[in-house]
């Protein structure tokens, strides 16, 4: 299987140091054994070891559920890390947009030059076992929309981790804010694998692609397909590219979370095979150009 050899911006990965005690979701008492492989430090050297199979020229660090009470702590910690040029070149930080002190939070985050965007996990599902938030109407809340406006004034992009049940709301949000950059995480989360669920995801994603200020991360599809095959992942990846086109899709690893079901090398190999029929310029867009433009990653000479 031929591996893509061109330059890659990994548009979504995480780092953490559990000795800091800021990642409470990884505490042994909080979850079952399913997260046990993630209950260790994942630092720059760990990422570089996993990514040695790839021509990684830059990465984007996505917030990793750091203690929300420590609003700029994750960003300050990332700034303190020694790492090669390009690694965690840009950050997508966390902020609770409906918070009454959102202006202060955003001001603090935006003062760090590598912060280019914000992520708040909004994923809602009618099944309580699959939902990440109790508020299905969050994206319509007046307080939340005020926070989004505060982001727009600072020219920050917004990463959305949502479920297929929220794709229509996301489309309305994007159309109402045509000058904002929205990035949908993890293929739009095709979590319901029955025929109705896949149809909901497919139809919703195709409709969302009509908003040209939305881009899509093709990342961690194995989260919803742990017994994956190349064919099952290809069905998801190809639909993403069919809907958004290579110019609005970006490759991402979601390492180390994705390592619960697939290694970095396996994901790169599978993805390379799936997109092998794209032209060289289209591959360059998916692996590099889209992420570089959306996250304003510095271009190396």
Phi-psi region of 300 (alpha: psi -120 to 50; beta: other; left: phi over 0): beta
Residue 12 lies in a domain: yes
What per-residue confidence (pLDDT) applies to 301?
Answer: 57
Residue pLDDT, tens place only, 228-244: 999 999 999 999 999 99
The proportion of the chain whose per-residue pLDDT surpasses 70, expressed as a percent, equals: 98
What per-residue confidence (pLDDT) applies to 92?
Answer: 98
Residue 3 lies in a domain: no
What per-residue confidence (pLDDT) applies to 250?
Answer: 98
Residue 33 lies in a domain: yes
CA quadruple 78, 82, 87, 90: dihedral sign = positive
Residue pLDDT, tens place only, 193-224: 999 999 999 999 999 999 999 999 999 999 99
Question: 238 near 222, Cβ under 8 Å?
Answer: no
161: domain CATH number?
Answer: 3.20.20.140
DSSP state of 61: E
Residue 159 lies in a domain: yes
Q: For the chain, what is the domain count?
A: 1
pLDDT level of residue 99 (50, 70, 90 thresholds): very high
Residue 221 lies in a domain: yes
Helix 142-153 × helix 102-110 angle, to 10°? 30
Could you give the CA distance from residue 64 to residue 39 in angstroms, rounded to a whole number? 13
Q: Nearest-5° angle of CA 116, CA 118, CA 119?
A: 140
Gyration radius (Cα) of the chain, Å: 18
Q: Which residues contact 203 (CB under 8 A, 6 or more apart)?
A: none
Q: Which of 22-31, 127-136, 232-241, 281-290 has the lowest mean pLDDT?
A: 22-31
**pLDDT mean over 9-28:** 96
Q: Above 60 in pLDDT, residue 88?
A: yes
Residue 2 lies in a domain: no
Residue 112 lies in a domain: yes
pLDDT level of residue 28 (50, 70, 90 thresholds): confident
What per-residue confidence (pLDDT) applies to 1?
Answer: 59
Residue 301 lies in a domain: no
DSSP state of 211: S
Q: Which residue, chain included where needed, has tokens 């804010």?
A: 177
What per-residue confidence (pLDDT) applies to 32?
Answer: 54
Closest by CA position to 86, among listed 301, 286, 297? 297
The residue range of the domain holding 219 is: 8-295
Residue pLDDT, tens place only, 161-202: 999 999 999 999 999 999 999 999 999 999 999 999 999 999
Could you give the CA distance from residue 123 to residue 132 in angstroms, rounded to a whole number? 5
Closest by CA position to 146, among listed 82, 183, 96? 96
What per-residue confidence (pLDDT) applies to 52?
Answer: 95
- Does an H or E element contain 151, and which? helix 142-153
Tokens of 131: 């939902």
Q: Above 70 in pLDDT, residue 226?
A: yes
């Amino acid at each position: 299987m031929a591996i893509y050899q061109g330059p890659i911006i990994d548009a979504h990965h995480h780092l953490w140091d559990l000795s800091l005690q800021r990642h409470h979701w990884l505490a042994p008492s909080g979850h079952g054994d399913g997260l046990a492989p993630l209950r260790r430090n994942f630092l720059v050297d760990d990422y570089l070891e996993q990514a040695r199979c790839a021509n990684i020229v830059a990465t984007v660090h996505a917030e990793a559920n750091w203690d929300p009470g420590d609003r700029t702590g994750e960003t300050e910690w990332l700034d303190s890390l020694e790492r090669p040029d390009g690694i965690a070149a840009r950050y997508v930080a966390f902020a609770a947009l409906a918070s009454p002190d959102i202006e202060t939070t955003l001001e603090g985050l935006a003062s760090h030059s590598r912060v280019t965007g914000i992520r708040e996990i909004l994923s809602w599902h009618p099944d309580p076992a699959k939902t990440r938030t109790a508020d299905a109407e969050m994206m319509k809340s007046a307080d939340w929309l005020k926070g989004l406006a505060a982001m727009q004034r600072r020219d920050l992009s917004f990463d959305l981790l949502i479920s297929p049940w929220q794709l229509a709301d996301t489309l309305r949000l994007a159309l109402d804010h045509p000058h904002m950059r929205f990035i949908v995480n993890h293929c739009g989360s095709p979590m319901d694998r029955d025929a109705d669920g896949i149809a909901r995801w497919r139809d919703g994603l195709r409709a969302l692609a009509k908003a040209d200020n939305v881009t899509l991360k093709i990342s961690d599809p194995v989260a919803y397909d742990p017994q994956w095959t190349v064919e099952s992942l290809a069905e998801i990846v190809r639909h993403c590219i069919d809907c958004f086109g290579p110019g609005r899709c970006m490759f991402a690893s979601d390492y180390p979370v994705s390592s619960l079901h697939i290694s970095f090398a396996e994901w790169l190999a599978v993805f390379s095979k799936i997109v092998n029929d794209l032209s060289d310029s289209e591959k360059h867009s998916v692996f590099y150009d889209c992420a570089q433009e959306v996250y304003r990653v510095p271009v190396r000479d």
